[in-house]
Structure 1
Amino acid sequence: YETTPASGSEATSPSTPLTVQWLLDNYETAEGVSLPRSTLYCHYLLHCQEQKLEPVNAASFGKLIRSVFMGLRTRRLGTRGNSKYHYYGLRIKASSSLVRLMEDQQHLAMRQQPFSQKQRLKPVQKVEGITNGMSSGSGQQQQQQSSGLSDISTQVQQYQQFLDASRALPEFPDVDLQGSALPEGIELEHLKSFQLLYREHCEAILDVMVNLQFPLVETLWKTFWRFSESQAGDSTTLAVHDESEKRLPKSCLVLLCKYDPVLRWSRDCDNTLYQGLVEMLIPDVLRPIPSALTQAIRNFAKSLESWLTNAMMNIPEEMVRVKVTSASAFAQTLRRYTSLNHLAQAARAVLQNTAQINQMLSDLNRVDFANVQEQASWVCRCEDRVVQRLEQDFKLTLQQQNSLEQWAAWLDGVVSQILKPYQTSTAFPKAAKLFLLKWSFYSSMVIRDLTLRSAASFGSFHLIRLLYDEYMYYLIEHRVAQAKGETPIAVMGEVQTHTQATNQNLTNQLKNKNIKNTLNL
Structure 2
Amino acid sequence: MAEGSPTSLLHLSITRWIADNFHLCEGCTIPRWLLYEMYLENFSSSDNDKVNSATFGKLIRLVFPGLGTRRLGTRGSARYHYDGIAIKKDSSFYGHYCFLLSQKNYRSADACSSGDAAGYESNSKKKGTDLHCFPSVTYLKTEEDRLAYVLPEFGLACPWEQELLNKYPYEMVIQVANEYSSHCQDILEVVKMQELDKVEDCITSFWKSLQPEKIAFISLPDICQLFKYYDRYLFKELDNILLGDFLEEVSVHYLKSIRMFSKNVKLWLLNALEELPMPLQTSKCKEVTVFIKRLRRKTDLSNMAKTMRIVLNNNSKVTVLISDLNAVIDQGLLDVPGNLFQKKYGNPDELQYNIEIKCLNDLLSSLAHSTDIRVLLSCISSNLQAFVIQPSRNKQEFIKLAADFQLRWNFLLSTVSKAMTLNYADSFGSWHLFNLLLLDYVAHIFQSYIEEEEEGEESFCVTQQSDQPVLWVYEPSYFGGYFAEEEPQAEAPQSTLISLMLNQSDIRLSNVYSEF
- Cα 1:388–1:440 change in 2 (3 A) is closer
**Number of the residue aligned with 1:126:** 60
Larger strand proportion of the pair: 2
Alpha-carbon contact 1:305-1:324 (below 8 Å) kept: yes
Q: Which amino acid aligns with 1:325?
A: K
Alpha-carbon contact 1:176-1:261 (below 8 Å) kept: no
User: How big is the shift at 1:123?
Assistant: 3.8
Percent same amino acid among aligned pairs? 20
Whether 2:337 is the aligned partner of 1:367: answer no
CA distance in 2, matches of 1:268, 1:357: 46
Q: Which deviations, in whole Å up to 9, do the C-alpha atoms of 1:159-186 show, x marking residues without a partner?
A: x89x977653112235948978999xx8
**Number of the residue aligned with 1:278:** 239
2:263 aligned residue (291, 299, 302): 302
1:392 aligned residue (361, 365, 371): 361
User: How big is the shift at 1:398?
Assistant: 2.3
Alignment of 1:48-447 (within 5 A): 110=44, 113=47, 117=51, 122-123=56-57, 125-127=59-61, 167-173=149-155, 176=160, 187-226=169-208, 241=209, 250-367=211-328, 371-373=334-336, 386-419=355-388, 422=391, 425-427=394-396, 429-430=398-399, 431-447=401-417
Q: Which amino acid aligns with 1:356?
A: K
User: How big is the shift at 1:318?
Assistant: 0.9
CA distance in 1, matches of 2:166, 2:274: 25
Give the secondary-structure state (helix, strand or coil) at the position aligned to 1:367: helix
Alpha-carbon contact 1:205-1:220 (below 8 Å) kept: yes
Q: Which deviations, in whole Å up to 9, do the C-alpha atoms of 1:194-223 show, x marking residues without a partner?
A: 111111110110111011111221111211
Alpha-carbon contact 1:164-1:283 (below 8 Å) kept: no
Q: Which deviations, in whole Å up to 9, do the C-alpha atoms of 1:74-128 show, x marking residues without a partner?
A: xxxxxxxxxxxxxxxxxxxxxxxxxxxxxxxx99994683596487862465349
Alpha-carbon contact 1:360-1:457 (below 8 Å) kept: yes
**Number of the residue aligned with 2:32:** none
Unaligned stretches of 5+ in structure 1?
1-105, 131-156, 227-240, 245-249, 506-521
Q: Which amino acid aligns with 1:283?
A: G
Whether 2:472 is the aligned partner of 1:496: answer yes
- Cα 1:357–1:313 change in 2 (3 A) is same
Larger helix proportion of the pair: 1
- Cα 1:501–1:410 change in 2 (3 A) is closer
CA distance in 1, matches of 2:215, 2:148: 35
- Cα 1:494–1:182 change in 2 (3 A) is farther
Alpha-carbon contact 2:190-2:198 (below 8 Å) kept: yes
Alpha-carbon contact 2:311-2:318 (below 8 Å) kept: yes
Q: Which deviations, in whole Å up to 9, do the C-alpha atoms of 1:274-330 show, x marking residues without a partner?
A: 011111111211011122222211111111111111111210111111111111222
Whether 2:447 is the aligned partner of 1:477: answer yes
**Number of the residue aligned with 2:476:** none
Give the secondary-structure state (helix, strand or coil) at the position aligned to 1:215: helix
Give the secondary-structure state (helix, strand or coil) at the position aligned to 1:346: helix
Task: Choose between structure 1 and 2 for higher RCO, CA contacts under 8 A separated by at least 6 residues.
Answer: 1
C-alpha RMSD over aligned residues: 4.2
CA distance in 1, matches of 2:274, 2:55: 26
Q: Which amino acid aligns with 1:464?
A: F
Unaligned stretches of 5+ in structure 2?
1-39, 67-138, 341-349, 461-468, 474-482, 491-516
Alpha-carbon contact 1:254-1:315 (below 8 Å) kept: yes
**Number of the residue aligned with 2:111:** none
TM-score normalised to structure 1 length: 0.56
CA distance in 2, matches of 1:351, 1:455: 17
Q: Which amino acid aligns with 1:254?
A: I
Q: Which amino acid aligns with 2:371?
A: N
Alpha-carbon contact 2:334-2:419 (below 8 Å) kept: no
CA distance in 2, matches of 1:333, 1:298: 11
Q: Which amino acid aligns with 2:336?
A: Q
Q: Which amino acid aligns with 1:403?
A: D
Q: Which amino acid aligns with 1:193?
A: Q
- Cα 1:311–1:166 change in 2 (3 A) is same
Aligned length: 339
- Cα 1:177–1:210 change in 2 (3 A) is closer
CA distance in 2, matches of 1:109, 1:290: 30
- Cα 1:502–1:396 change in 2 (3 A) is closer
Alpha-carbon contact 1:121-1:204 (below 8 Å) kept: no
- Cα 1:501–1:182 change in 2 (3 A) is farther
